[in-house]
Amino acid sequence: MSPQQVNWTARRHAAADDAWPAGRREQRKRATRELLIDTATRMSLEHGFDEITVAEIARACGVATATVYNYFPSKESMIFDVPETLLDKLRAELTNPTSTAVEAMLAILDGVLDDLVTWLAEQDEQTRAADTALRIEAMVRDTPALQVHSLRLLSRMTDAAREALASRTGKPSHDPELRIAAAALAGLWPVQADASCRHLEHTTSPEDLRKAVAADVRRAARVLEHGLATSI
């Protein structure tokens, strides 16, 4: 991703692209995807998410509207998304018998945090970049369509975790213990998002941000490891 792009979530898609040989066609596809994400984010911050259309984003990028839908299923997914490859990685981590379920979820979240930290470290003006990240999060929080999208993504993550736990334990996916465990594990995602916003406001370096956010997430994870009876 170009260092001066405004939206770090493009790295999630870039990671999926890295699984394939980087031929010219793949490079063009990645560049187009990043351009769409960046343009949609910039236009949303400038005009308001609800005030722009997919057609306007496409026109600003010099592509057909139909091309946008080859990359993204909706306008919301251009602002942030959870690619299927990330869910596949979550399933793989959770079915790995060498780590606990909490350790598996933390490994996924560490990778997501690394996207933000690396993006921030690459910026020429880190304070301004942090402010942009906070504006994006505020836009998501204040826009009903993006809030609904966020809940849908959390639901997808919960379902993926539940399927993986069913495979890991041999229990049916509707088992009540699996349902609550999957919901709790997926709940670490919004914990990390909230911690990222809080610490972006006053951390002095990308690495300080990483340490502060990771510490908060691990505090929450300890509640899952030890149970409510001993933690709350």
At residue 213, what is the residue type? V
Distance between CA atoms of residues 149 and 143, nearest Å:
10
Q: Which among 20-29, 33-42, 76-85 has the top mean pLDDT?
A: 33-42
Distance between CA atoms of residues 95 and 97, nearest Å:
6
Sign for the pseudo-dihedral over CA of 107, 109, 110, 114: positive
| Contact predicate 7/33, CB 8 Å | no
Confidence bin at 203 (pLDDT 50/70/90)? confident
Tokens of 201: 């406001």
Q: Phi-psi bin for 48: left (phi > 0), alpha (psi -120 to 50), beta?
A: left
Of 1, 7, 36, nearest in space to 135 by CA: 7
Kindly give, in sequence order, each residue whose CB lies less than 8 Å from that of residue 69, ignoring residues fewer than 6 positions away.
54
Asked if residue 3 has pLDDT above 50, the reply is no
pTM: 0.87
Asked if residue 158 has pLDDT above 60, the reply is yes
Q: What structural domains does the chain harbor?
A: 24-74 (1.10.10.60), 83-226 (1.10.357.10)
